[in-house]
Amino acid sequence: MSTAPSATVNPGMDPEVFAQFLEQLQRYVRERLIPAEAQVIAGDAIPEDLLAEMREMGLFGLTMPEEYGGAGMNISQYIETIHAISYAMPAFRSIISINIGMVCSAIKNAGTAEQKAEWLPRLAAGEIAAFGLTEPGSGSDSAGLATMAVRSGNGYVLNGTKRYITNAPYAKVGLIMARTSKENLPRNAHVSAFLVPLDTPGVTRGKSDKKMGQQGSHIGDIILEDVYVPGEALLGSEEGRGFATAMQSLDNGRLSVGAAATAQARRFLDTAIRYANERKAFGEPIAQFQLIQAMLADSQAEIYAAQCMMRDAIAKADSGQKILMEAAAFKMFASEMCGRVADRCVQIHGGAGYLAEYEAERFFRDARIYRIYEGTTQIMQLVIAKQMLKDFAAGVG
């Protein structure tokens, strides 16, 4: 169990300014992003004019310090922002969250002053980043990491393949995890992190993978063949910190996924309520049928529970607590809950829920990935259980 310092570590944006920003964003989501969803689906991409608007609103630099062009949000404000934007289709969150919650978080936490000065302003301005951990033979298993970084002069030569990497087809830079030791070392000290511009000679990208859902968001391979990077590319100028940096960033990533799943579940439920009031059977709206009401009520209760978990976890994060277990528990519950709400949304639609003409079919497909990325439900169970056992052995409780 975590223990909290008494003061907030990062006060973030002025609360009144943030409240105004959030209200503006919620209006933008409903008036601009949701109406554009059909266009995103048709083109399997976010239109450039929308990306330009998102950059202009500062959505790529939410948590970055103001001196680097960001908004300086704390964790609570960042996750509330992700929750707001995730009421729209998932592509809009995916394009910004890897920048903010993963790559920028790693640079802020572990980067040198020079790395922060070079990369944070560019990422805050909207250059797109990718987070390169997963490989064909490894995901959460750091011991299976195969990508190697071998010293060469003042730099390193990287070889390996990264798989299922969000934003890979169009990212400008990748934070690449690679072995700097052939042997597996304690505390995963064999893994280091490198900032690799993806136009570096030797870097190629696989084609964008066709997915079950989440149109407009793209994943693909990043292939590194004798890629030379200077020593300044090593994050923090220190070998062996890559996996620890990745895990710190994954806490933010898991909070982001949990917030997205919670917001998507709300969208699904709102759609189901609207349909249940419009669809009539036996002379009355199906919303009047008690078994339909039971599905609506179960969904509302579960969404409320996820919202409470989210706000508890982000408050602890802002007070400086370690939230490994809380982030994992929230991500696990919210992603599983989102799947259940999506299923009920289809069920309430009946036969119409199976047709692509209605949103419920897309919702069902979009929801499935939340239980997989940033750590599967099963990995989350292991993270939670290991932390519980560690706390028990230390007499914490």
Q: Which of 167, 259, 215 is nearest to 359 (CA)?
A: 215
pLDDT band at 189 (very low <50, low <70, confident <90, very high): confident
- pLDDT, tens digit (0-9, with 9 covering 90-100), for 152-175: 999 999 999 999 999 999 899 999
Please enumerate in sequence order all residues whose Cβ is within 8 A of that of 262, keeping only pairs 6 or more positions apart, or say none.
83, 86, 303, 306, 307, 310, 334, 337, 338
Question: d(Cα 190, Cα 124) in Å, to the nearest integer?
Answer: 30
pLDDT band at 250 (very low <50, low <70, confident <90, very high): confident
Q: Classify residue 55 by burial, with Cβ atoms within 10 Å: 0-12, 13-18, 19+.
A: middle
Q: What is the pLDDT of residue 355?
A: 96
Task: List Cα–Cα distances, 126 to 52, 175, 232, in angstroms.
Answer: 9, 16, 22
| CATH tag for 244-393 (out of 3.30.450.40, 1.20.140.10, 2.60.40.1180, 3.40.50.2300) | 1.20.140.10
Question: d(Cα 232, Cα 390) in Å, to the nearest integer?
Answer: 37
Catalytic residues: 374
Lowest mean pLDDT among 138-142, 201-205, 280-284: 138-142
- pLDDT, tens digit (0-9, with 9 covering 90-100), for 285-323: 999 999 999 999 999 999 999 999 999 999 999 999 999
Is residue 4 predicted with pLDDT exceeding 50?
A: no
Q: What is the pLDDT of residue 140?
A: 65
Is residue 9 predicted with pLDDT exceeding 70?
A: no
Q: What is the pLDDT of residue 395?
A: 87
Mean pLDDT of 188-211: 93
Q: Which of 109, 108, 132 is nearest to 120 (CA)?
A: 108
Mean pLDDT of 195-212: 95
CB 364 within 8 A of CB 342: yes
Is residue 381 predicted with pLDDT exceeding 70?
A: yes
Mean pLDDT of 191-204: 96
Is residue 397 predicted with pLDDT exceeding 80?
A: no
Rg (CA), the chain: 21
Tokens coding 215: 């149109």
Please enumerate in sequence order all residues whose Cβ is within 8 A of that of 99, keeping only pairs 6 or more positions apart, or say none.
60, 123, 127, 128, 129
User: Could you tell me which residues are beta bridge partners of residue 148?
Assistant: 159, 179
Q: What is the pLDDT of residue 67?
A: 94
- Tell me the fold of 15-127: Butyryl-Coa Dehydrogenase, subunit A; domain 1 (1.10.540)
Q: What is the pLDDT of residue 251?
A: 83
pLDDT band at 125 (very low <50, low <70, confident <90, very high): very high
Q: What is the dihedral of CA 326, 362, 29, 323, to 10 degrees?
A: 10
Instruction: Give the single-character DSSP code of 138.
Output: B
Q: Spelled out in words, what is the top-level CATH class assigned to the domain 130-240?
A: mainly beta
Q: What is the pLDDT of residue 5?
A: 45
The β-bridge relationship of strands 173-179 and 129-132 is parallel
**SS3 category, 225:** strand
Amino acid at 121: P
pLDDT band at 98 (very low <50, low <70, confident <90, very high): confident
Q: What is the pLDDT of residue 3?
A: 47
pLDDT band at 252 (very low <50, low <70, confident <90, very high): confident
User: Percent of the chain scored above 70 by pLDDT?
Assistant: 96
Q: Which of 129, 204, 210 is nearest to 161 (CA)?
A: 204
Q: What is the pLDDT of residue 143?
A: 67
pTM: 0.91
- pLDDT, tens digit (0-9, with 9 covering 90-100), for 10-42: 788 999 999 999 999 999 999 999 999 999 999
- pLDDT, tens digit (0-9, with 9 covering 90-100), for 56-68: 999 999 998 999 9
Is residue 142 predicted with pLDDT exceeding 70?
A: no
The string of DSSP codes covering 340-364 is HHHHHHHHHHGGGGGSTTSHHHHHH
Determine the angle formed by the axes of helices 324-349 and 377-393, rounding to 10 degrees.
150
Residue that is written with structure tokens 């995963």 in the block: 188
Question: d(Cα 264, Cα 342) in Å, to the nearest integer?
Answer: 9
Q: Where are the domains of the chain?
A: 15-127, 130-240, 244-393
Is residue 2 predicted with pLDDT exceeding 80?
A: no
**Residue, of 251 and 217, whose pLDDT is higher:** 217
Q: What is the pLDDT of residue 324?
A: 92
Instruction: Give the single-character DSSP code of 250.
Output: H
**SS3 category, 162:** strand
**Average pLDDT of the chain?**
92
Q: What is the pLDDT of residue 1?
A: 46
15-127 and 244-393: identical CATH topology: no
Q: What is the pLDDT of residue 6?
A: 41
